[in-house]
Amino acid sequence: MHLEVKTTAGKVRGRTADGVARFLGIPYAAAPFGANRFAPPAPALAWDGVRDAWEHGPTAPAPGYPPPMDRILPAVVVPGEECLNVNVWAPEAAEGAPVMVWIHGGAFVNGSNSLPTYDGTAFARDGVVLVGVNYRLGAEGFLLLPAGTANLGLLDQVAALRWVQENIATFGGDPGNVTVFGESAGAMSIGSLLAMPAADGLFRRAVLQSGGGHHVLSAATAARIAGYVADEVGVSLKELPQVPPQRLVEAQQALTVQVQTAPDPARWGEVTANAMVYEPVVDGDVLPDIPIRRIASGSASGVDLLVGSTRDEHRLFLAPSGAMDRATATVLQAVAGRYGLPGDALDEYRAVRPGASPGVLLSDVMTDWFFRIPAIRMAEAHPGAYVYEFDWASPVLDGRLGSCHALELGFVFDTLRSASGLVGQEPPQELADAMHRAWVAFATTGDPGWEPYGQERSVRRFGTTLETVRDPRGATRAIWEGIR
């Protein structure tokens, strides 16, 4: 069955089945190429008649993941230039329903709204209008050109949120009850949105899964990265806008290898710590300051917040390649020192996991630095925030993935069959029911079903059991106090 809806650019025709209406590939801004390349998002071009919204729209240029990661995190590639598009799932005949806007992850260089795991059918089934957003990635979205506009990928997200404000009521959603949620780079994006004047008032609630408001680049570092990109492709900075997108993708891959093999802080600055050559940039305009500082100063006042991480985030980046098995005590000590941990800090980690290998402990330390501690600091900076931890272990790779990065996504979206590369063949549906239900409740009322973090440091644990715990692994949390 077909359903037509009017948007500000023209009518779109979606499909309905089992009480859910689906509209795919709707442009929220003009194609960011040609005259619009490396420029802030321009309004979508209007169309005559009715546009079929039956297929996923084009995806942003991206390298995809290298083996063996590509088997765990498969990519969907849809060619075309209209990559600034949204997908919408809505309850059929909805009116005034809560709205959730999904911002995908992928280290700011990968990902799209068309992955099957991000299908919004379950949210629409449960009374939510779900919007999935594509935005510019890599150089197209985060390269800082001389006299150029910073953070184009973030401005794309702002444009999508404005599209929601202007159009979502015609899909049955309430523009006054919008929750933006994302994972990894998507969550880091939301950390930036909470700090951006341009995003003020565009959403009421936010969910940050495995990403916070700490990992950004200074304008000076971003400018150096642009110079390295120009050197890599053999052109001047002024000529970079004429370089084909795929060539810039290749340059990004080459620079990532360089920083991973020779992490010299004098050359790479903040990039040394996480090897992400493209991140949000503190330019003083689009992003005035480091997000966590802005949030602590009240930039997110009035926004309900839910933040959290998985128990073993970094195993996704260490286990598939065998790096976790190869890690030595020397490597573990070096990484801990690079993060600024005191000499006896690893004793606290060993106390949590007696007899654990250096690789497992390395994952624990890196997980805390990159994901867990930023989530906690976000909650500390925003009174009333809710905190969760996902603690179910995947059977994939003989269990070595543990509760790794991105594992919770199939549970949140209730799309476990689509997430089998991470969750395996028999994941617990009851855990998906509980986690999905909590996200729906938060988007609807601002209360996911447990008490805020507060002075008790309350954390909801989603694992083999569902429980609220006080300050889990408090000793390892405490050793990061005072360390950025």
Contact 284, 189 (CB under 8 A): no
Token pair, residue 272, equals 């040394």
Phi, then psi, of 467 in degrees rounded to 5:
-155, 155
Say whether 301 is catalytic.
no
CA distance to 84, 392, 475, per residue, from 461 (Å): 36, 9, 18
The residue with tokens 């917040």 is 305
Burial class (CB in 10 A: 0-12, 13-18, 19+), 62: buried
CB count in 10 Å sphere of residue 447: 14
Q: Which of 56, 214, 215, 405 is catalytic?
A: 405
Q: Could you tell me if 216 and 279 are in contact, meaning their C-beta atoms sit under 8 angstroms apart?
A: yes
Nearest to 143 by CA among 247, 273, 289: 247
Nearest to 190 by CA among 374, 458, 411, 454: 374
Candidates 442, 455, 1; CA nearest to 209 is 442
Is 2 a residue of the active site?
A: no
Per annotation, catalytic residue among 82, 232, 279, 313: 313
Our measurement of the distance from residue 453's CA atom to the centroid of its chain's CA atoms, rounded to an integer in Å, reads 22
Catalytic residue (choose from 184, 192, 210, 458): 184
Q: List the structure tokens of 454.
A: 């507060």
Residue 405 is a catalytic residue: yes
Element of type H or E holding 420: helix 420-423
Active-site amino acid positions: 184, 313, 405
